[in-house]
Amino acid sequence: MGRISEVGRNAWCEEPVRAAGLLIDGEDYYRAFHQAALRARRSILLSGWQFDSDAKLLCGEEAKRSTAPIKLLELLNTLCKERPELQVKILAWDFHLVFALEREWMQELVFEWTTNERLHYKFDSTHVEGGSHHQKFVVVDGQLSFLGGLDLCDHRWDDRRHLDKNPLRVSRGEPHKPFHDVQVYLDSREIGARLTELFECRWLRACKEHITVVHPDTETFGPDWKLQGAVPIAAKTVSLSRTDPHGSPTVDEPVREIEAQYREGILSAERLIYVETQYFSSHAIGEALCQRLRAPGPTLQVVLVLNMKAETLKEQIAVGLAQAKNIVDVRAAVEGTPHRLGIYYTVPDSDGGEPQRATYVHSKVMIVDDRWINVGSANLTNRSLSVDTELNASFETDGPGDPLAKSICGVRLGLLSEHLGISGLDCDPEGLVDVLDDRAQRRDGRLRLHPSPTASERTALGVVDPQKLPFDPDGAEDQDDRSIFAEGLGRLWRRFISDRDDNK
């Protein structure tokens, strides 16, 4: 059995880690970032799709007990004032006007011009035409790194209970939906150096400015330092993979390492494929699943945890129909085979009666045979695997008896337990789908059978090929001027300022 991840073929790098694991859901990640930032001495680097200055990092009793600021920008600004050597640099995607109503306005003014001189916030508009910057990573003092699906912004905080009504789950005074996501933490100077190199390269592209980030010579986080709420993974190394049309920072050509790694994992699976993803519209991944399900080989258990439906009209147009087609195709591929396929969504914990909404799944996780796990920012969409910038981490066992396999199995069972709303799932992989189907049909727990394709989706699929729509392109050649990401709001704002100055 060959390795799924291999540097030079489908991975950017593989580096040693002293400690690694997962932070599941916003409560644990936001708290972990708050903990880490409070220890920072020289550098905090943040790259993301979205940031909000007033995002609360601690809630409830933890917020009351904290002697440090609990909101993102106030915390970072206070740390800069208190620590003369600390530099904070933030790179945010220069989002398109279509997202304007979902974002905090005037962010460059709020982050850059009203804060300490050593806190710098820049919009990055150097994505390719039709793409976006979707990498979400943090590096603290070059030693502790975070990456995954979570941004430090509003409407993302939730705890693992996913209550239908949670008085702590509030953004700007308004309650928001139950929300599930997963983040990786890595204690590794080698990984810190790699991500710092990536950040410096992107800063140069975005700002036309060379920077050299300085990290402390001594450890900021000792070997006994622990993150509250973390789920440790018994790994000695981690592989990083990218989607990047620029190939930053090591090459100047497109890299699609994440797509290649996802496909390799699916095609090499012998017992189990577990996936949770915000979107499932990639034709390459859909085809890979169908190919493996139709191929001779050991019987597979395939579990997909998705969102029940697209939340907005633009999501339904951009990826909803393509996801429905993928579901139709994989269900057809499994018919007549011994394989078992379960496709689900999950609902929040309600006081009584059937919840009227689903828990929003924003995570991007794939597990194969409990020997390989991949977590990151890349959804199973065409654009995430081709034109957007993405960053994923994967852990892989060295063979039978590797303690990492037990860790990965524990992660998978823990995630399924969370989706079911039970304290602990104990189930052999061979009967997994039957167990989950039975619980979902009886509504024993929070897992539900996925309804797609609905009657309306079948009707739409009869008249349109969703892969021909322009909103989820598969590479630069698969785009046109109808892209919703044609120009960023920051660029439009700077153009407005320039035009105003020219007319003075």
Tens of each residue's pLDDT in the chain, 504 residues: 789 999 999 999 999 999 999 999 999 999 999 999 999 999 999 999 999 999 999 999 999 999 999 999 999 999 999 999 999 999 999 865 455 455 565 677 778 778 899 999 999 999 888 889 999 999 999 999 999 999 999 999 999 999 999 999 999 889 999 999 999 999 999 999 999 999 999 999 999 999 999 999 999 999 999 999 999 999 999 999 999 999 999 888 999 999 999 999 999 999 999 999 999 999 999 999 999 999 988 999 999 999 998 877 777 877 899 999 999 999 999 999 999 999 999 999 988 789 989 999 999 999 999 999 999 999 999 999 999 999 999 999 998 789 999 999 999 999 999 999 998 898 888 999 999 999 999 999 999 999 999 898 888 888 888 888 777 888 755 554 434 444 444 543 444 344 434 443
pLDDT of residue 74: 97
pTM: 0.92
Number of Cβ within a 10 Å radius of residue 424: 9
Contact between residue 124 and residue 94 where contact means Cβ atoms under 8 Å apart: yes
Q: How far is CA 416 from the centre of its chain?
A: 18
Selection from 412, 450, 448, 452 nearest residue 432 by Cα:
412
Round to whole Å and give the CA distance between 31 and 37. Answer: 10
pLDDT of residue 101: 52
In degrees rounded to 5, what are phi and psi of residue 409?
-60, -45
Contact between residue 154 and residue 55 where contact means Cβ atoms under 8 Å apart: yes
Our CA dihedral for 307, 308, 314, 319, rounded to 10 degrees, sits at: 60
Contact between residue 420 and residue 429 where contact means Cβ atoms under 8 Å apart: no
Contact between residue 179 and residue 359 where contact means Cβ atoms under 8 Å apart: yes
Residue for token digits 């991975």? 11
Round to whole Å and give the CA distance between 158 and 155. Answer: 9
pLDDT of residue 96: 58
pLDDT of residue 56: 97
User: Which tokens belong to 174?
Assistant: 């308004």
pLDDT of residue 134: 96
Contact between residue 236 and residue 17 where contact means Cβ atoms under 8 Å apart: yes
pLDDT of residue 473: 86
DSSP3 helix / strand / coil % (the chain, rounded to 5): 35, 25, 45
257, burial (CB in 10 Å: exposed 0-12, middle 13-18, buried 19+): buried
